[in-house]
Amino acid sequence: TKRSSIPLQHGAHRLGKRTDAEMQKWREHGLGQFIHWGVYAIAGGHWQGKYYPGAAEWIRSWEEMPKDAYDNLYKEFNPTDFDAKQWAKQAKYMGAKYMIITTKHHDGFCIWPSKYTDYTIKNTPYKKDLLREIVDAYDKEGIDVYLYFSIIDWHEKGYRSAIPETAEEKVAYEEFKQFTRNQLIELLTDYPTAKGLWFDGTWDKAWIEQVQFADDLEKEMRAMRPGLIIGSRFRADENGKRHFDSNGDLMGDYEQGWERDLPNSIADVNGNDWDCVMTIPENQWGYHSEWRGYVKTSFDLIDMLVRSVSMDGNFVLNFGPDGKGNIRPEETKLAKEIGDWMKINSEAIYGCSYVNLKKQGWGYFTRKDNKIYLTVFNRPINNMLNLEIAKGGVKPVKAYFLSDKKGVDIVNAGRNKQNSSLYNLVIPADFISGQPFVIVLEISQSD
């Protein structure tokens, strides 16, 4: 039901979650991979020996980087080490169920041979369609592909960030809109197995104003490909509201607002689907040859993954391959470590969702059917995992380690003032784990 009712023509066209099979599949993925790859990978965050402190894929916007030099980098783009099958295998091992690939980032370079611009992979020494290789390889591994597409396009002549004022600018921007539409239709036509579009670079005033155009285009894309999944970053409503319309309703199929950030609690999620896209260093998406500052560990990333799933979201980890097509060793190591963990514990991730139990300090709850998974990150000194079940809630039946099915005792710890049932799950003192671990709690419906 609608919370408020400002009449809107271009607000949310659906209230509440999508219920179809495609969206259900997306929801069950839990873990995804993001890949930022383009000509910025050649620069790798440096220009003529100087270090660019920003996000590597933004180097073109740096005053030290001559635009012309950047716009000619594609002539050197020849990723001879690129092996799409290897990337897909690595993602598969990590446990990713879907991936998002930058078909075109803000610089406008297309990794597919778009017929609407010359600024594409076709005109590089590499020539071949990178997107095709990626889509085919990931499809083969059973990993769903989503196409990242930036509306911002620094290369295309009609592109404007500010609202076009003069007649000439208006004409140019109209051409840019058609160009954008053409490319999107082209992507959907030529890569029919892709499951959705992941939009970005939609914050310009000029784009926010294109309410009717963007709404029509979204409808056109959805009609072309039933089941297509599009997040909340594509378009604004007629009052310029993005992600959520003027009534507070989510526009698109899931909330795309969690970038390098996670909700604090389920209340922040507002009952919507969402994804969190996360970088390994602080803020680098494309390849930067010199990561400075803190680099997340697999412990950090697994924590974020489980935390996301415990609040009904998907966690999408970003990779930035280099200009030759290599995934850097730090990323390969993390993918392996996450994959090793997933080999044992993925049952607590895939298809799992939020559990309405009081959050505890030792870690996170996730649930599928009659199993509640307790993923423990902070093992209590007394080896007791507290559990509080509100009156009328579920009833614990048995508990065991996910890894080896060894039983875990459930000790009844009485009731609290609110009449919730309290339990302690006892971790055997001689149990040693260098990793976050999962305890399965089988439940029956309330007593």
Of 200 and 366, nearer to ligand FHN (C-beta) is: 200
Positions 54 through 93 that interact with ligand FHN (CB under 6 A): 55, 57-58
Least distance CB 91 / ligand FHN (angstroms): 18
Least distance CB 176 / ligand FHN (angstroms): 18
Please tell me whether residue 291 binds ligand FHN under the rule CB under 6 A.
no
Least distance CB 437 / ligand FHN (angstroms): 31
Least distance CB 318 / ligand FHN (angstroms): 7
Of 136 and 259, nearer to ligand FHN (C-beta) is: 259
Size (the chain), residues? 447
Of 36 and 328, nearer to ligand FHN (C-beta) is: 36
Tokens of 20: 């179809």
Least distance CB 186 / ligand FHN (angstroms): 21
Judged by CB under 6 A, the stretch of 51-59, 165-173, 334-342, 436-444 that binds ligand FHN is 51-59
Judged by CB under 6 A, the stretch of 52-60, 108-116, 164-172, 265-273 that binds ligand FHN is 52-60
Cα–Cα distance for residue pair 234/200, rounded to 1 Å: 7
Positions 227 through 266 that interact with ligand FHN (CB under 6 A): 259
Least distance CB 328 / ligand FHN (angstroms): 17
Of 279 and 345, nearer to ligand FHN (C-beta) is: 279
Please tell me whether residue 316 binds ligand FHN under the rule CB under 6 A.
no
Least distance CB 428 / ligand FHN (angstroms): 43
Q: How many residues bind ligand FHN (CB under 6 A)?
A: 8
Judged by CB under 6 A, the stretch of 53-61, 77-85, 123-131, 219-227 that binds ligand FHN is 53-61
Of 36 and 235, nearer to ligand FHN (C-beta) is: 36
Of 57 and 129, nearer to ligand FHN (C-beta) is: 57
Of 33 and 366, nearer to ligand FHN (C-beta) is: 33
Least distance CB 247 / ligand FHN (angstroms): 25
Number of neighbouring beta carbons within 10 Å of residue 65: 20
C-beta nearest to ligand FHN: residue = 285
Least distance CB 106 / ligand FHN (angstroms): 6
Residue of the chain from 153, 200, 215, 303 that contacts ligand FHN (CB under 6 A) = 200
Residue of the chain from 285, 362, 401, 437 that contacts ligand FHN (CB under 6 A) = 285
Cα–Cα distance for residue pair 23/283, rounded to 1 Å: 29
Residue 255, judged by CB atoms within 10 A of its CB (0-12, 13-18, 19+), counts as buried
Least distance CB 313 / ligand FHN (angstroms): 15
Judged by CB under 6 A, the stretch of 50-58, 70-78, 342-350, 370-378 that binds ligand FHN is 50-58
Of 200 and 218, nearer to ligand FHN (C-beta) is: 200
Please tell me whether residue 277 binds ligand FHN under the rule CB under 6 A.
yes
Helix H, strand E, coil C: the string for the chain is CCCCCCCCCCCCCCCCCCCCHHHHHHHHHCEEEEECCCCHHHHCCEECCEECCCCHHHHHHCCCCCHHHHHCHHHHCCCCCCCHHHHHHHHHHHCCCEEEEEEECCCCCECCCCCCCCCEHHHCCCCCCHHHHHHHHHHHCCCEEEEEEECCCCCCCCCCCCCCCCHHHHHHHHHHHHHHHHHHHHHHHHCCCCCEEEEECCCCHHHHCCHHHHHHHHHHHHHHCCCCEECCCCCECCCCCECECCCCCECCCCEEEEECCCCCCHHHHCCCCEEEEECCCCCCCCCCCCCCCCCCCHHHHHHHHHHHHHCCEEEEEEECCCCCCCCCHHHHHHHHHHHHHHHHHHHHCCCCECCCCCCCCCEEEEEECCEEEEEECCCCCCCEEEEEECCCCCEEEEEEECCCCCEEEEEEEEECCCCCEEEEEECCCCCCCCCCEEEEEEEECCC
Positions touching ligand FHN (CB under 6 A) are: 36, 55, 57-58, 200, 259, 277, 285
